[in-house]
Amino acid sequence: MFVLVNLKTYPCDPVAVAEAVRDVDDTTDARLAVAPAASHIERVAETGVETWAQHVDPIDHGSNTGHALAEHVADAGAAGTLVNHSEQRLKLADIDGAVRAADRADLETIVCANNPAQIGAAAALGPDAVAVEPPELIGTGTPVSQADPDVVENAVAAAADVDPDVSVLCGAGISTGDDVVAAGDLGAGGVLLASGVAKADDPKAALEDLVAPL
């Protein structure tokens, strides 16, 4: 299972969380990574943890003030990037462009989508993975695998129909090891989570609980 911790812009210490993710990663067969804010990527990557960006733009080098260039993200130490998170939505053409930009910089990609129909469209763009995240469940502590397990199963089927090589993750409300196990039982290859770790009083303990059943 792939567990990606998105730090968003929460008021946490990104290096401390990264060190927790790194240390727990050494104790489990699961693959753990962290996605800090863009300005923290280099500091987080220096801890040795697998580091992801939260976003890249569909641009090349040039006159693009305020944008996130895939090559800059990679140079800072990121191994991959999220695309089209529900808090950073893109049009379909721009999702395609962002995936192409990430490919150009040798970044792995996870394209986020709200529902199985969108998952099928996202998978057709050729990312490494897609993630189904119903936005109404984000930050609620109620996982999609519990609130509506059909969403996960149908997303897995939709991606497989388009490209069996594209893995499916699920997110929104993931906070416990049971949530991660349930996602796997429904066919997901990993999970996205944020507040359950980033806002925890003890991020390392929260992560240890998450991976203990795996």
Q: Where are the strands (E) in the chain, listed by range?
A: 2-6, 31-35, 50-53, 80-83, 108-113, 129-132, 167-170, 190-193
Question: Strand 50-53 to strand 190-193: parallel, antiparallel, or no bridges (unpaired)?
Answer: unpaired
Whether 85 sits among the annotated catalytic residues: the reply is yes
Q: 91 labelled as ligand-binding?
A: no
Q: 193 labelled as ligand-binding?
A: no
Nearest to 26 by CA among 42, 8, 50: 50
Out of 61, 133, 136, 208, pick the active-site residue: 133
Out of 19, 50, 55, 85, pick the active-site residue: 85
Q: Could you tell me which residues come within 8 angstroms of residue 13 by beta carbon, excluding any fewer than 6 positions away?
A: none
Contact call for residues 84 and 95 (beta carbons, < 8 A): yes
Contact call for residues 188 and 169 (beta carbons, < 8 A): yes
Q: 173 labelled as ligand-binding?
A: yes
Q: 8 labelled as ligand-binding?
A: yes
If one counts every other C-beta atom within 10 angstroms of the C-beta of residue 167, the result is 21
Measure the CA–CA gap between 5 and 21, rounded to whole angstroms: 8
Q: 195 labelled as ligand-binding?
A: yes
The torsion angle over the Cα atoms of residues 44, 214, 167 and 174, rounded to 10 degrees, is -70
Tell me the sheet residues that pair with 51: 34
Active-site residue list: 85, 133
Binding site residues for substrate, as ranges? Answer: 6-8, 138, 173, 194-195
